[in-house]
Structure 1
Amino acid sequence: MRRNPWATLTVLALAQFITVLDVTIVNVALPDLSADLEFSQHSLPWVINAYTLPFGGLLLLGGRAADLLGARRVFLAGLLLFGVTSLAAGLATSPELLIAARAVQGVGAALLAPAALALIVLTFPPGRQRNIALGVWGSLAGLGGTLGVVAGGLLVDGAGWRWIFFVNVPVVVALLVAGPLLISAERHRAAGRSFDVAGAVLGTAGLLAVVFGVIRAEERGWGAAEVVGCLVGGVIVLGVFLAVEARTKAPLVPLHLFRSRGVAIAVGSLALNGATFLSTFFLTSVYLQQGRGDSAVEAGLHLLPMGIAAVLGAVLAARLTHRIGARFVQRAGALASLAGLLLLSRVDSDDSYTSSLLPGFVLLGLGVIGVAVAGQITAQAGAGAGEAGGVSGVLTTGYQVGGALGLALATTLPAEHSGGVSGVVSAAVETFQDGILVAAGFAAVNLVLALLAPATPRSHS
């Protein structure tokens, strides 16, 4: 039976939407769940870190599993795991149970995210339809992060913190029913289904060590022995991982893909894109509440134009990519992101929202989605049969790990610089301005990469 590809996209995009939503929706509930479950100040950040750590560290494994076991099968398994652990998190009666549920929830997200992206590539042929599908995918992911703040505030105030997890359950149930009906099983299967066990262990361990080190840097500082040990150890393990991948017959990550300048630049570009967007989103959320006195819901509403701009930008990026090419869209997106961040870096606590913040939010929303759509199209253009999951895993890993690194840099460096500033409002404004300049640095490097990007073959545009 032939499935409608746009119905398939709806299922995949909604699944991606809730995984991104879950990254930000928890932030506004931390005070309530901390008081209810009696979290210590030291353990509370692990409500977020327990999810992001396996999410970022296991994406390569999830992408390769999609190639070997079938993308639809891995997607549905990850979705089921995500739903069950969402229910478990909502029912948690102790800090330990909640953190454990969040960790397994991150594993589910790491399975379904690259599998879903691979299914989009397998469902839509190269060209205009795939461009539109990738644009929708990227825009809903960005909108999910923005709406997470609004939805979290409304749910916590109206129903209690447990509903930030319970809300996932009916969505997951609906997707699990619709998925087998609307998503076609792939015809391709990897020959022999051999699995790179050594690569899986080394790649996962290296990424987990790097992401863990970055997370701990926010609390311990970059010079702490624990942080340095994790980062250096992670890099060494990843070096061994690359050496193993170069020699194995069925690698977790096909290294030959990086011989293509387009793939290599696309991965770096998406990593910088993640660093730019996630750091800006976090800094702005804090600034709106501490520097301008917004409530959590008001901050989410003020951030909403960024998400709306991303949705509209996705449509525009897909059309321009088809007519002009991915390279133009990538360059325009990087330039728009940089311009938006430079505008935001000049904002003070008493500036008008409409004239100061709004233009920067709109430019950034348009810019990040342009870079995302163009980067995904360029990278997938170099993928062969049976490699869509692996490429998707690399792209998603680049975005998540880049986002974690970017967020740590954009928050720790300004914090050290503004340590002597007196007053909550003044410190919040200075931290925001300095952090946004760090994010602008990421966007500037991304613009350089965009200038080096090759033209995408016309059949893929």
Structure 2
Amino acid sequence: MNSPLASKPSITSGCDVEVVVRRPTPSNVRRYTLLLIFCITQFIYALTNSALFSAIPSLVRKFGFTQSQSVWIISAYQLTFASFLLMSGKISDIYNPKYTFITGKFIVGVISIGLGFVSDGILFLALRALSGIAASLTVPSALALLVGLFPEPRHQAVAIASFGAWGSIGIVLGLITGALFVEHAGWSWVFWFVPMVIIPTTFISAVLIPTPTKNVVRESGFTKFRSLDVTGISILTVAVILFIFSVTTGSTTSWGSAITLAPLVIAIAMITAFFFWEAFQPIECAAVPSSTWFIPNFSVLFGTALLPYFWWANIFTTYVSLWQDIYKWSPMSSAVHMLPIGITAFVFSFASRVKGLSSMSAKWPILCGALMMMLSLVLFAFADTPDKYWPLVFPGFILGSAGAMLANISANVISTHTASRYSELRPPPMAGTVGAIFNCGLQLGSAVGLAAVGSIQASVQVRNGGPSNYQGQSAGFWFMLSCISVAAMAVIVFYRTDTARNRVKGTVVCDEK
């Protein structure tokens, strides 16, 4: 549906940049075909990373990794993906989300081909890190494109919900896919499967994504480069890399070691330096404009972003390890028992009735999701034998996964939708940047949560008879419960529904002609 200002382009200026914003609205067939492509891309990324859990034993034997080194099979990708999200979001906003998305997706496909052929462990980890950088280009750009393709709030919410749902179901189906590949074809096919889907859909995307006139810009290449804020983004990127490296290393070695503490201290100092740097940058030239944190409820929504992957990643790793290493279940049996997580997340993302989200009332869905995750953790804490899967673990999977998806979709939809409207009144465009910050929060929740819960489980197990004693897993679940409780209290205290409504009331949508 066209906006009331469909014939009037929006013109903004700042940092020596003048931007004319005109977003042509494609046909419904084209829009929903692109939505399907974005969802498939998200699904393939999640499926590949999940499938690697089944392939880790084969990769350890192939490359001669130690137990501590094997952590980087997953973490090398996660580290670079999270670290470069902000830069990717800024590139998407300043240059062009279409070409950012296509470039990142194509590079992921090419690197995946190479990953299946490598015979050296260091080269393998390096390519995994590069694929994380390339994949980071696609997420904020896809969210920015979704905002443009579905400007109407209700349709936009459904599109973003679909984007997240396909990722969640890919996580669980990846276990089954990885087990099938490893048992019947070899670990290389975990990677070779990716370009078979990614590369063809990349070319389809290049044709179907509308060529934007968004940056019909009177600006020089230097002005664009200046707006990218390379200095600020570089400081934050290095800080995030060091922070994730520190918490990951601390969970596998010692939290008191120099290799853990030194990067952590440097990361905190660099994050502080980043905020000082940004405070003196013009709004159009800052990596994270100070106005970002004044977007209605954005700070509390960023805190909420830490929760969903915090829950999913820890439940996923805890039970896969427990079932295969202690209960001696097969990889396929473990994957099948995990299916309720993915199926529930996929179904519940559409059952969440996102109508309320477009009216800035996400507070109660977020709190409901947090409560469901907390209840599931109580069930898990008492599921200390295999026979308690059906009475405790199964309902916990359904409750917790539904709650994690509800919190994820609610926070994602409202932050992206509010940012797109807020930036229409206070340029520059921020949809890509906000999407990057939000997804960085998801990854940080996963990385930091895995490190903290893993350390708690290990320390309790050492004092109580080793991994076969369930007290370690139970302690990890109680710790997760306390973290989510604190986050829920923050939402109750700091989330302002009326403020959110008033601050976006009366905004106009740029030309949707």
TM bracket, shorter-chain basis: over 0.9
- Does residue 1:276 correspond to 2:324, yes or no? no
Partner residue of 2:474 out of 419, 425, 433: 433
Shift of 1:322: 5.1
Shift of 1:260: 3.3
Distance 1:277 1:350 in 2: 20
- Does residue 1:446 correspond to 2:487, yes or no? yes
Aligned residue type for 1:390: T
Contact 1:128 1:318 in 2 (8 A): no
Aligned residue type for 1:314: S
Partner residue of 1:22 out of 29, 44, 48: 48
SS at match of 2:386: coil
Contact 2:161 2:413 in 1 (8 A): no
- Does residue 1:409 correspond to 2:452, yes or no? yes
SS at match of 2:210: coil
Aligned residue type for 2:185: A
In structure 1, the partner of 2:368 is: 332
Provide the TM-score with structure 1 as the length reference: 0.94
In structure 2, the partner of 1:313 is: 348
In structure 2, the partner of 1:99 is: 125
- Does residue 1:377 correspond to 2:413, yes or no? yes
Residue 297 to residue 321, structure 1, CA distance change in 2 (3 Å): farther
Distance 2:300 2:180 in 1: 40
Shift of 1:290: 3.0
SS at match of 1:375: helix
User: Any idea what the Cα deviations from partners look like across 1:190-248, whole Å, max 9, x if unmatched?
Assistant: 76422212112111111111111111111222111111111111011011111111111
Distance 1:394 1:322 in 2: 20
Residue 453 to residue 96, structure 1, CA distance change in 2 (3 Å): same
- Does residue 1:198 correspond to 2:231, yes or no? yes
In structure 2, the partner of 1:177 is: 203
Shift of 1:276: 2.3
In structure 2, the partner of 1:400 is: 443
Contact 2:349 2:406 in 1 (8 A): yes
Question: Unmatched 5+ residue regions in structure 1?
Answer: none
Shift of 1:43: 3.1
Question: Unmatched 5+ residue regions in structure 2?
Answer: 1-23, 506-513
| Identity in percent | 25
Distance 1:323 1:58 in 2: 29
Contact 2:459 2:472 in 1 (8 A): no
- Does residue 1:208 correspond to 2:246, yes or no? no
Distance 1:457 1:291 in 2: 51
Shift of 1:394: 0.4
Distance 1:297 1:231 in 2: 38
Contact 1:131 1:318 in 2 (8 A): no
Aligned residue type for 1:20: A
SS at match of 2:463: coil
| Bigger-Rg structure (1/2) | 2
Q: 1:176-255 alignment to 2 at 5 Å?
A: 176-189=202-215, 192-193=223-224, 194-249=227-282, 250-255=285-290
In structure 1, the partner of 2:433 is: 390
Contact 1:334 1:450 in 2 (8 A): no
Distance 1:322 1:41 in 2: 44
Residue 321 to residue 155, structure 1, CA distance change in 2 (3 Å): farther
Distance 1:108 1:12 in 2: 15
In structure 1, the partner of 2:33 is: 7
Distance 1:235 1:377 in 2: 30
Contact 2:178 2:190 in 1 (8 A): yes
Contact 1:291 1:349 in 2 (8 A): no
In structure 2, the partner of 1:139 is: 165
Residue 355 to residue 275, structure 1, CA distance change in 2 (3 Å): same
Shift of 1:326: 1.9
Contact 1:283 1:436 in 2 (8 A): no
Distance 1:351 1:291 in 2: 14
Distance 1:320 1:288 in 2: 39
Distance 1:221 1:237 in 2: 23
In structure 2, the partner of 1:84 is: 110
Distance 1:76 1:122 in 2: 16
Shift of 1:173: 1.3
Distance 1:224 1:252 in 2: 33
Distance 2:67 2:315 in 1: 25
Aligned length: 458
Aligned residue type for 1:450: V
Contact 1:329 1:374 in 2 (8 A): yes
SS at match of 1:91: coil
- Does residue 1:344 correspond to 2:394, yes or no? no
In structure 2, the partner of 1:304 is: 339
Distance 1:186 1:453 in 2: 35
Contact 1:321 1:328 in 2 (8 A): no
User: Any idea what the Cα deviations from partners look like across 1:258-297, whole Å, max 9, x if unmatched?
Assistant: 1235111111100133222212221122122234332111
Residue 317 to residue 61, structure 1, CA distance change in 2 (3 Å): same
Contact 1:25 1:152 in 2 (8 A): yes
RMSD (CA atoms):
2.0
- Does residue 1:289 correspond to 2:333, yes or no? no
Name which of structure 1's ranges 356-365 and 125-134 shifts more when overlaid on structure 2: 125-134
Shift of 1:430: 2.4
Aligned residue type for 1:409: A
SS at match of 1:125: coil
Partner residue of 1:125 out of 136, 140, 151: 151
In structure 1, the partner of 2:98 is: 72
Name which of structure 1's ranges 193-202 and 392-401 shifts more when overlaid on structure 2: 193-202
Provide the TM-score with structure 2 as the length reference: 0.85
Contact 2:31 2:149 in 1 (8 A): yes
After TM superposition, the runs of 4+ consecutive aligned structure 1 residues lying more than 6 A away are none
Contact 2:68 2:252 in 1 (8 A): no
Aligned residue type for 1:277: W
Aligned residue type for 1:341: L
